[in-house]
């Protein structure tokens, strides 16, 4: 019971109680991701559809965003523990320039795939009107959860939330 309450509080902390304007073309929970070209930041460019077949955690961030950089370590630990086994972790930088984003990845020692969204395609599609934003997506590309604000993504509560949302045992 205590774990469920903690997980619920964790979830509610990421949900906004205030109605906010949507970004252009924003997907809702339950919608399927549309195709998009992802410009490589820490590796090659890819199509978003190439990630289908395995659940996905997408983190939207920027180098200038303190809370984004604070949660990077927990995302890296989560990726090292589960990435590629139960789900894939990717990052989408909203930086205007490649070099600050690459510098942030180097400073945080991030090894999971990251892409840059200078044309705002992913930012608008995912609803990143404020960051950090983390989405949980099923293997078919359906958005199952959107979480705004920095989180400790490798905490027991977060891992329970991810496992429950993605319907996988972690």
In order of their start, the domains of the chain are 2-16+26-166 (3.40.30.10)
Question: Would you state the pLDDT for residue 21?
Answer: 66
Question: Would you state the pLDDT for residue 17?
Answer: 39
Residue with tokens 């608008």: 124
149 CA to centre of own chain: 11
Question: Would you state the pLDDT for residue 15?
Answer: 46
Question: Would you state the pLDDT for residue 25?
Answer: 87
**Biggest CA-to-CA distance, the chain:** 46
Nearest to 143 by CA among 125, 170, 124: 125
Q: Which residues of 43-66 are buried (b: 16+ CB within 10 A; e: fewer)?
A: eeebebeebeebbbbbbbbbbebe
Condensed to tens digits (0 to 9), the pLDDT of residues 73-131 reads 999 999 999 988 899 999 999 999 999 999 999 999 999 999 999 999 999 999 999 99
Question: Would you state the pLDDT for residue 161?
Answer: 96
Condensed to tens digits (0 to 9), the pLDDT of residues 6-55 reads 444 444 444 443 445 688 889 999 999 999 999 999 999 999 999 999 99
CA distances from 75 to 21, 27, 46, 80, 151 (A): 28, 23, 21, 9, 9
Residue with tokens 């590796």: 43
Rounded CA separation 110/4 (Å)? 30
């Amino acid at each position: 019971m205590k774990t469920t309450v903690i997980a619920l509080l964790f979830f509610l902390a990421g949900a906004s109680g205030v109605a906010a304007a949507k970004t252009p073309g924003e997907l809702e929970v339950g919608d399927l991701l549309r195709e998009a070209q992802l410009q490589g930041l820490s590796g090659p460019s890819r199509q978003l559809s190439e990630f289908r077949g395995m659940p996905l955690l997408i983190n939207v961030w920027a180098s200038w965003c303190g809370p984004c950089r604070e949660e990077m370590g927990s995302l890296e630990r989560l990726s090292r523990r589960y990435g590629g086994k139960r789900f894939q972790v990717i990052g989408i930088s909203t930086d205007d320039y490649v070099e600050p984003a690459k510098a942030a990845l180097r400073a945080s020692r991030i090894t999971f795939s990251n892409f840059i969204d200078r044309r705002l395609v992913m930012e608008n599609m995912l609803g990143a009107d404020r960051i950090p934003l983390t989405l949980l997506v099923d293997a078919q590309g359906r958005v199952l959860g959107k979480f705004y604000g920095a989180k400790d993504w490798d905490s027991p509560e977060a891992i329970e939330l991810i496992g429950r949302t993605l319907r996988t045992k972690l």
